[in-house]
Chains A and B, each alone.
Chain A
Amino acid sequence: MKIVNWILFISFGALLIHASMGLPNRGDADAVMFREKSPAGSPGASSYYIRNAYRDAETPNMVTVVLADYRGYDTLGEETVIMTSGLICFLLLRKKRNDRGDKKALKAGTDAQI
């Protein structure tokens, strides 16, 4: 079993390294994501952001403009995920009001909850 794990581990690593060979170089201006038109023929988004981020929002940090303005819905969803995780922790980890030994109070408590 152990040798199967190792074979899977090494082959998956080799696959990832092989896939990373196809990535464009850093700062390559001819890479797919920096082109004016995407391979499907629609206008590319990144060149629009780079040209118009400061003009649209008067904010020098392009990442902030993309995060909070162009992709505002996405950030709203992220924040909702954080709030939901906090609420779930509150619901799962809160202290039960009844002690373990006190069966009668536990029963009364469950009856009252129902």
Chain B
Amino acid sequence: MRKYEFNPIIVTVSCAVSPFIMLFGLYVIFHGHYSPGGGFQGGTLLAAALLLIRLAAGFDIAQLQFKRILGTPLGSIGVLIYFGTGFLAMMSGGEFLNYGFLPFAGVTGAGLRSLGILMVEIGVGLSVMAILVAIYDDLLEGYSND
């Protein structure tokens, strides 16, 4: 494996491009109701933005942005958001994952289902982002001192 060398051009360009990739990932997640996209695709884009900084600035500096230890817990939290949405609907008297029974006041049937889909997509996006970064970090672990 090649040793990491600081290269100002690569770091500057990555720092300029990464926020836009992140913004596009959030757009893909939250606009999944109206256009192609959704949690899986948006989460992958968010992970790409984080991995670009990890590749360009080195593993140690990238810890300031997204700590290594956060990867697996955030992935589990994403699954818990999904499961919690279904469980909340079940607690309110419906079936598991029946979003029509979510206990949010002021929103009626179909709007409630739209909201449930959004919550689920956010959970999927968070989980995919965190797990992809965590897999990269785990693969890199033996080389982190280079």
Contact = CB atoms under 8 A, between A and B. Distances in A.
Given A93-B138, A94-B138, A56 B97 contact: no
Given A75-B120, A82-B131, A94-B141, A58 B113 contact: yes
B110 A57 contact: yes
Interface residues of B, number: 38
Contacts, number: 99
B20 interface: no
Main secondary structure, interface of B, reads helix
Centre residue among B34, B82, B121 by max chain A CB count within 10 A: B82
B134 interface: yes
A73 B86 CA distance: 9
Contact of A59 (B33, B72, B83): B33
Nearest to A76: B82
A90 B134 contact: yes
Interface in B94-146: 97, 99, 110-111, 113-114, 116-117, 120-121, 123-124, 127-128, 130-131, 134-135, 138-139, 141-142
Given A68-B120, A87-B75, 15 more contacts: A56-B113, A57-B114, A58-B111, A59-B33, A61-B36, A68-B117, A72-B97, A79-B124, A79-B127, A83-B76, A86-B72, A86-B135, A89-B139, A92-B138, A95-B141
